Amino acid sequence: MPEGHTVHRLAAIHEERFAGRPVRVSSPQGRFAQEARLVDGRVLERADAYGKHLLHFYDVDLAVHVHLGIYGVFEEEKTPMDPPRGQVRMRMVGAEFGTDLRGPTRCEVVDHAAVDRLRARLGPDPLRAEADPERAWRRIARSRAPIGGLLMDQSVVAGVGNVYRAEVLFRQGIDPMRPGRSLSAAEWDALWADLVSLMAVGVTAGGIVVVRDEHDHGDPAYAKGKPRTYVYRRAGSPCRVCGTTVLRTEMQGRNLFWCPHCQS
């Protein structure tokens, strides 16, 4: 379930469980075996996340860079760990905990210069304290591209994926097709502030939760507190706020969901 919140959550867990002590790093599957040797047995100094990119910094000029892509998943486990099941790209084992990485789009050892280059091509990340939303606004304010596409562009905003894209635009009542430059500064400020709070909830909750209480219309399923969305993957169903049928289209190869009444 990898949007930015997932990766930031992982970084926090890995930092807490592994930082400050040596870890064993291996590749049961083999595809990461050569690179794993470069950091195996070294001290993991810290773990951090930039957008959807996870970094494990070691006590040398090296870091493990992981991008989960659409399938990737970490499985956290107490030691002693069970034998690897299936295709485990990277196994990292510390004193009390270990973790298995499966199906990432990227898992590589890089130096700090490469980390700097990575950061340089990412827009502000709503989950990072030092993020500067003005940097994203400068891109958006002069772009003819639809805001629905701009939000998914990691060089504009880092960490937003298909769910947060759809949900934040719904919550802000913004038509995904509107050109970036048609947004007002006030609309952008509100959108950014909403991303910051929504994604922070995602990190603590361990999942995407965006439905606001004032839109609870007494649906028992909602009362149970199940994680749910307003429009994502709800095409053909009535909008939770106005009842209009939620629509779906494709934008840049990804499914886009929106309510034509609330977002016009």
Partner DNA sequence: GCCTTATGTTCAC
Partner DNA sequence: TGAACCTAAGGCT
On the question of a cis peptide bond just before residue 28, with omega within 30 degrees of 0, the verdict is no
**Residues that contact DNA, how many (by CB under 7 A):** 32
Query: Can residue 208 be called a binding residue for DNA (CB under 7 A)?
Result: yes
Instruction: Please count the residues of the chain.
Output: 264
Instruction: Supply the angle between the helices 185-205 and 133-141 in degrees, to the nearest 10.
Output: 130
**CA angle at residue 7 from 48 to 135, to 5 degrees?**
75
Smallest separation (angstroms) from DNA to the CB of 185: 26
Query: Can residue 254 be called a binding residue for DNA (CB under 7 A)?
Result: yes
Residues in 49-88 at the binding interface with DNA, rule: CB under 7 A: 51-52, 67-71, 73, 86-87
Among all chains, which residue has been given the structure tokens 């909403």? 194
At position 101, the amino acid (one-letter code) is L
Contacting range for DNA; rule: CB under 7 A; set: 20-28, 57-65, 177-185, 249-257: 249-257
- Residue 228 CA to residue 215 CA, distance in Å, equals 12
Query: Can residue 27 be called a binding residue for DNA (CB under 7 A)?
Result: no
Residue partners of 140: CB distance under 8 A and separation at least 6: 147, 150, 156, 180, 181, 183, 188
Query: Can residue 263 be called a binding residue for DNA (CB under 7 A)?
Result: no
In the chain, the DSSP E strands lie at: 24-26, 44-50, 53-58, 63-67, 73-78, 90-93, 97-102, 106-110, 247-251, 254-258
Query: Can residue 262 be called a binding residue for DNA (CB under 7 A)?
Result: no
Smallest separation (angstroms) from DNA to the CB of 243: 22
- CB-wise, 87 or 249, nearer to DNA? 87
Query: Can residue 149 be called a binding residue for DNA (CB under 7 A)?
Result: no
Residue partners of 236: CB distance under 8 A and separation at least 6: 245, 246, 248
Query: Can residue 210 be called a binding residue for DNA (CB under 7 A)?
Result: no
- CB-wise, 44 or 164, nearer to DNA? 164
Q: Which of 22, 24, 31, 196 binds DNA (CB under 7 A)?
A: 31
Nearest of 202, 159, 207 to residue 52 by alpha carbon = 159
Query: Can residue 204 be called a binding residue for DNA (CB under 7 A)?
Result: no
Smallest separation (angstroms) from DNA to the CB of 103: 3
Q: Which of 163, 231, 259, 262 binds DNA (CB under 7 A)?
A: 163
Active-site residues: which are they? 2-3, 52, 254
- CB-wise, 21 or 245, nearer to DNA? 245
Task: Kindly list the residues in this chain that would bind DNA in the complex (CB under 7 A).
Answer: 1-3, 6, 29, 31, 51-52, 67-71, 73, 86-87, 89, 102-103, 105, 152, 154, 161-163, 207-208, 233, 252-255
